[in-house]
A and B are shown apart, each in its own frame.
Chain A
Amino acid sequence: MSTVTLRNVRRAYDGAWALDDVSLTAPEGKVLALLGPSGSGKSTILRLIAGLEAPDAGEIVIGAETVSGPGRLLPTEQRRIGMVFQDYSLFPHLSAGANVAFGLDRLTRADRDAQALTWLDRVGLKHRAGAFPHELSGGEQQRVALARALAPKPRAVLLDEPFSGLDPVQRAELRDATLATLMETGTTTLFVTHDAEDALQVADRLAILKGGRLLQEAAPRIAYDQPASLDVAAALGPINVFDGVCENGVVATPFGNVASALANGARARAAVRAEAIALRPGNMARVLDVRPHGAHDLVRIAARGVVWRALTPARMGLGETVDVEFQPAGAFVFSA
């Protein structure tokens, strides 16, 4: 297993930057999640690492080897990088076993078949070795694709939206199983998703991207608690925003004060996570509507003409008035 490092990588499509000066590191044996909306450049990063595309500038290093850089582009097939595609891209003319064995062609036939079976066993599909892709369910296809990518013992494995297109139950199961397999094998993993929950739960480290730029790279907990920008905060969960001015170390919002390190009189933007808001009976704000959200309610509250959302376990009634309190770890101020 190896560390994967991007240094000042740029990539343009039709004159627009798909990736603009991105540097990041996927630590050896850890899972790095790339989180961002469509068009943020996260899939481009995987294609560049796999060598399916060449960067316009910067370099990519796997272990100690520069695989992409000025004047150098190691062909994909020599990179020893495993990849699980969004549509899995299983070979339709090969059985599950043969799909997994595809990357093991340097072994003897007997070894190859044995290893393919071992890998299928690891993802719980030994009994499906003879099945063809169209005979497998979506979840089974994903597991075969994972086994196929891991079997050749790649230096790192890239997962492109691996859990999209699966139903929620399958999704949670598969996410846990995949994570278990990856941890067990100690594989360096880069994992692209637009789902904050997936990213927070699976990743050892998190890289948040928007518009081709890297916004923050940090451990999930750090990124969640100390977002580097409003965009990062918004990427990891629903937030409420209020534009105000910093006075005496706080920004006053209609729902209460948020502590700020900005200078007195500076224009400021306060952001409070919906799940960091606690409500209790009082008279600070009025409840506009309530929608069940699992164990929580999603409550819209209004005060002085401003409407915020709160995700709270307290059961509130329509038209009630409430007092509002923020958990400090979920309330941030950014300079505006």
Chain B
Amino acid sequence: MALAACNPTGGSGGDEENFVNLYTARHYDADRQLYAAFEEATGVAVRALTGNAEQLLERIRAEGDATEADLFVSADAGNLWRVKEAGLLQNVTSPALEQGVPENLRDPDGAFWGFTKRARVIIYRKDAVQPEQVASYDDLANARFRGQIVMRSSTNTYQLSTLASRIERQGADNARQWAAGVRANFVRDPQGSDTDQIKAVAAGEAQATLVNHYYYVRLLKSEDAAEREAAARVGLIFPDQATGGTHVNISGGGVTLHAKRPGRAKQFLEYLVSDAAQNLIAPLNTEFPIRPSITPAPELAALGSFREESIPLDALGRHQAEAARIFEEVGWR
């Protein structure tokens, strides 16, 4: 049984049941539209169990070979790496995926594959800060911003991945100095969401923060006038354009080790990077498409193009524990 499961079947999954089960840590309405589109295109239904990535990992671990999950989906590479490390994903070979997903946005062994990407950007207050003053991540640690920075908690996986990428690129000591510097600039202890950080900057409580790009885009087109006004008061910077490039993360998925329908799971992954899905999903959640050839949504295109960092994606996972330890040491909870 385990042997068979480790041996992925061909692309179509033709003789398998006509549905595929997802454990997904993405909670987007967009995804439900995507499932519907997939079912319409292939006749294969998608059943989803949404949840928190770390908890879903424990569920799949406890279920062992009885699991009903065929595919594990998360909005962070570090989380996907943890599932892979737990030995709960299987390696997949697929020409369609290999062609569609750039090498820096997938697992080197083929255990998980990105299908959208997001950038970690700097948000600053337009009336107090010049864009040049926040051109790089380093600037957030600059003493000039003492008592001027708000940040989300480092329990959040996006913060961990941001620091993990820095450890990969510039080493742990540099990362520690940076985190300590940013910590020293805090207005207050971390609290609230990415959106709350943007609003704090807009309200003048702080001068800059670090968030995923799409939270800003969402505020821009919010149904709430107050939120649109808040977005108008702040600017967005893709940091490190002159140096290593802006930190990016992926939403991605991998076929589970004990998948009952590994063929269907692979079929769905391949669908996710297809033209149809890429054109559908990225605009819905204002994420960037994984394939450079696909045009992003207009409001994303308006942000301009940017240079993204190029590091092996599994680095985000490998350095995650150390990143958490550094955050702890410098008192950035």
Q: Do chains A and B touch in the complex (CB under 8 A)?
A: no
Residues of A within 8 A of B (CB): none
Residues of B within 8 A of A (CB): none
